[in-house]
């Protein structure tokens, strides 16, 4: 008999998009304007921070850079 153990993976940091008072999310809008491959590249980098951040390390002003054909995209975690 084979048993599988499913381990719940918990985010260490939750990423949220910047919101204007008008409730617009310009960063999300910008991401949605990119092509699918670029969105995936940036999403993987965000996911790496959300799930892989070292416990005890302060995430103040950390900006991973994603390389996409248009240049570099920095995601800032405050």
pLDDT score, position 27: 87
Model's pTM, two decimal places? 0.67
Closest CA to 71 of 42, 46, 50: 42
Identify which has the larger pLDDT, 1 or 19: 19
Q: Write out pLDDT tens, residues 17-47.
A: 888 999 899 988 989 999 999 999 988 888 8
Phi, psi of 70 (to 5 degrees): -80, -10
């Amino acid at each position: 008999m084979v048993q599988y153990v499913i381990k719940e993976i918990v985010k260490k940091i939750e990423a949220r998009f910047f919101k204007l008072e008008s409730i617009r999310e310009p960063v999300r809008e910008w991401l949605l304007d990119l092509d699918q491959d670029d969105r995936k590249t940036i999403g993987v980098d965000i996911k790496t921070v959300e799930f892989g951040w070292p416990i005890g390390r302060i995430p103040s002003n950390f900006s991973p850079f994603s390389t996409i054909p248009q240049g570099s995209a920095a995601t800032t975690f405050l």
